[in-house]
Chain A
Amino acid sequence: DSGVTQTPKHLITATGQRVTLRCSPRSGDLSVYWYQQSLDQGLQFLIQYYNGEERAKGNILERFSAQQFPDLHSELNLSSLELGDSALYFCASSVDSLNSPLHFGNGTRLTVT
């Protein structure tokens, strides 16, 4: 058990809809990361937050947004969903924003129909 909690485990929704994925980092970790894993793109870095502030941005679509709250949990919002957004979305956390290893949650599997 990595200590990173993601909810929900599974999500099925229709195209055009909006969903929110939630992540609670390990106790004591200040950084939260979001990754998307799909068969054709592999593991893609989306965004990183450190202590409530955005720190790094990857291949995150404009339809997607995230935030980290004062209690350090994070939410990833996906809107105007398309079939191609179907993927596993992982949250990870680390102690700081430097080179500390990432600890991953078990992911949220999103299916867009």
Chain B
Amino acid sequence: AQSVTQPDIHITVSEGASLELRCNYSYGATPYLFWYVQSPGQGLQLLLKYFSGDTLVQGIKGFEAEFKRSQSSFNLRKPSVHWSDAAEYFCAVGMNNNAGNMLTFGGGTRLMVKP
């Protein structure tokens, strides 16, 4: 069964600083990988996705993520954080087979941004 680990429960960065959120997955085949963001009182919004091809994927709001098969990782990065990026971030791995399209989510990383 697939699983997703986000090692950092909380991260605090200063506004303007760079950000990297870690995600490690366990899945037997080529994974479909996603990053979602959840603001308070809101649903999850898709930031970016990786299906195949270029291992560096660009998303919305200036985020990018790099798929590293050898490390089973899909870390999310942003070169300069804005105060509005404070939210909870979820990494997810998709298992797509004839049984359906089930996403398994990591436990989330709560990002706080210092002024």
Q: Which residues of A contact B (CB under 8 A)?
A: 2, 4, 31, 33, 42-43, 45, 48, 50, 55-56, 58, 90, 92, 94, 96-107
24 contacts between A and B (CB under 8 A): A2-B43, A2-B45, A42-B105, A42-B108, A43-B90, A43-B105, A45-B102, A48-B102, A55-B101, A56-B101, A90-B44, A92-B44, A94-B101, A97-B100, A97-B101, A99-B101, A101-B46, A102-B44, A103-B46, A104-B43, A105-B43, A106-B41, A106-B43, A107-B43
Q: Are B101 and A31 in contact (CB under 8 A)?
A: yes
Q: Are A104 and B45 in contact (CB under 8 A)?
A: yes
Determine how close the nearest CB of chain A comes to the CB of B27; give it in whole angstroms: 13
Residue of A nearest to B46 (CB): A101
Q: How many of chain B's residues have a CB under 8 angstroms from any CB in A?
A: 24
